[in-house]
Structure 1
Amino acid sequence: MTSTNDRAGDARDDFTVRQPKLDGNRVALRGRVTPDQHQRARRAAAQRGLSLSDYLGSLIDADTGVRAGKRPPQEAFDIPA
């Protein structure tokens, strides 16, 4: 019997990333945060007029150096350069 870790092409074995299932132009992302982090993220998203999903995507863009919109991520999120 073969475990899921022994399958050929498993992403953990060859460091490839499988194409995620798209929902429109987005993919589902699942993770766990503390209740306090969740509350702060929802509040920060609302203050910026963003959905929680858009806020998290913007944080990922800022952290990975992707320029989103017309302002650099540092200005959009008050991140020191």
Structure 2
Amino acid sequence: MTDTISITLNGERHELARPTTARDLVSGLVDKDITVDGTPVDGSRLGIALAVDGEVIRRRKWSDFTLAEGHSVDIVTAVQGG
């Protein structure tokens, strides 16, 4: 067993340390500490959704969801506009 896994993140291959949870991934991408319920420690909003292999992972489950070799992860960001 290696110390890394390979996933596809928004269409691009990425190597991650093993184990990595969905919460770990999002926290690293947005550069914020995230609580176990999926909200930023600083009280701000993330405005993102995460799906693994086409299934949306609810924010409160991010800390329990461990990413595995070959997972396809999509992260989308909400934007405002007019």
TM-score range, shorter chain: under 0.3
Greater share of residues in strand:
2
Greater Rg, structure 1 or structure 2? Answer: 1
Greater share of residues in helix:
1
Q: Normalized against structure 1, the TM-score is what?
A: 0.21
Work out which structure has the larger RCO, using CA pairs closer than 8 Å and 6 or more positions apart in sequence.
2
Q: Normalized against structure 2, the TM-score is what?
A: 0.20
